[in-house]
Amino acid sequence: MFKALVLDQVEKQTTSSIRQLNDADLPESDVIVNVDYSSLNYKDGLAITGKGKIVRNFPMVPGIDLTGTVEQSHDPRYAAGDKVVLTGWGVGEGHWGGMAEKASLKADWLVPLPEGLSGKQAMMVGTAGFTAMLCVQALVDAGITPESGEILVTGASGGVGSVAVTLLAKLGYKVAAVTGRIEQNGTLLTELGASRIIDRSEFEEPARALEKQIWAGAVDTVGSKVLAKVLAQMDYNGAVAACGLAGGFDLPTTVMPFILRNVSLLGIDSVSCPSAKRIKAWQRLAELLPDSYYQQACTEVELEQVAEYAEAITNGQVTGRVVIKL
Ligand code: NDP
């Protein structure tokens, strides 16, 4: 028997309850993992409260991120005792996820937990940190170096943005952070490595087709008019890694930055990122993230507290990372 948070749908309303399940209840797959930690993302909050159409079939165990220890494997790549990490692939949405003491998963979805990273640390990084690493790698691959110039990060105090600031600073880039919460998070962003902090309102004015060239590269988690402004301010040959829509999914821009300044807009998806790229990104995260990153606010909760925190995260009342101890 093992414990799980289970979502059901009753008269079109999502309900959640803690249940004792049998191994036989688990979906069939290649690898059984004893889950050590999961984490609570905004997407999990939407799934658990039913505020967003995240879950594709019921009953569902939520949890888009997990770390744990292999109990049993039908795949030669993994053996009992191996430590693994998983993010994305629709786990916790269409396939039972991390908010249970056990999970049954495809071997293709798993990444060996990199040396030097604990399970709890991996969940503090989670999908958000992994996505930040993909953004930073995309800028590196586009040829943006610390000598190219300043890098802008938008939504900087969010999960993705704060890791992007940390990683870029660690790699020697000069980082400017855009935030709507300077008073609350300005000091933290400076500690993470930002050399200047810019108020979000400066990026909410409508963008002209082309503005003064300021940024060699950018990580954008916000989209909409903020991304349009960033594009208009990119240097010749600049590149923007775009992963988010915290400010909206539209993009009121023109082709001018692309055709007159050779700017590249690099799309970043973490959910279906291929395995080899995933493994490399997790190794880089383990190498690059300093201890100070793990000292930032992190709340560790039990499965029984998840419903309460899910409500809070969807109301914007959670600061820092929430990890769930199984
Ligand atoms: P968070 O909620 O932790 O952070 C988003 C940040 O964006 C906030 O902290 C805030 O930063 C800023 N923000 C919030 N609302 C607005 C607004 N209306 N206008 C402008 N800025 C705003 O989210 P994550 O960091 O986890 O995710 C960021 C985005 O990336 C989300 O849209 C998420 O859906 C997406 N995402 C995409 C992934 C992918 O695979 N492509 C994977 C993971 C996330 P501040 O207070 O500093 O201004």
ipTM of the complex: 0.99
Contact status, residue 1 vs residue 22, Cβ threshold 8 Å: yes
Whether residue 131 has its Cβ less than 6 Å from ligand 1: yes
CATH of the domain at 17: 3.90.180.10
Cα separations (Å) of 254 from 30, 104, 209, 220, 225?
Answer: 47, 46, 6, 17, 12
Does residue 278 form part of some domain?
no
Q: Above 90 in pLDDT, residue 83?
A: yes
CATH of the domain at 175: 3.40.50.720
Q: What is the DSSP letter of 27?
A: P
Distance (angstroms) between ligand 1 centre and the Cα of 128 equals 9
Q: Above 80 in pLDDT, residue 319?
A: no
Does residue 55 form part of some domain?
yes
Does residue 206 form part of some domain?
yes
Whether residue 314 has its Cβ less than 6 Å from ligand 1: no
Give 89-140 pLDDT, tens digit per residue: 999 999 999 999 999 999 999 999 999 999 999 999 999 999 999 999 999 9
Pocket test for ligand 1, best of 43, 87, 131, 315 (most atoms within 8 A of CB): 131
Same domain, 103 and 163: no
Select from 135, 154, 145 the least CA-distant residue to 237.
Answer: 145
Q: Above 80 in pLDDT, residue 297?
A: no
Give 204-237 pLDDT, tens digit per residue: 999 999 999 999 999 999 999 999 999 999 999 9
Q: Can you give the residue range of the structural domain that contains 183?
A: 127-267
Same domain, 135 and 258: yes
What phi, psi does 311 have (nearest 5°)?
-65, -45
Structure token pair of residue 229:
């402004």
Number of domains forming the structure of the chain: 2
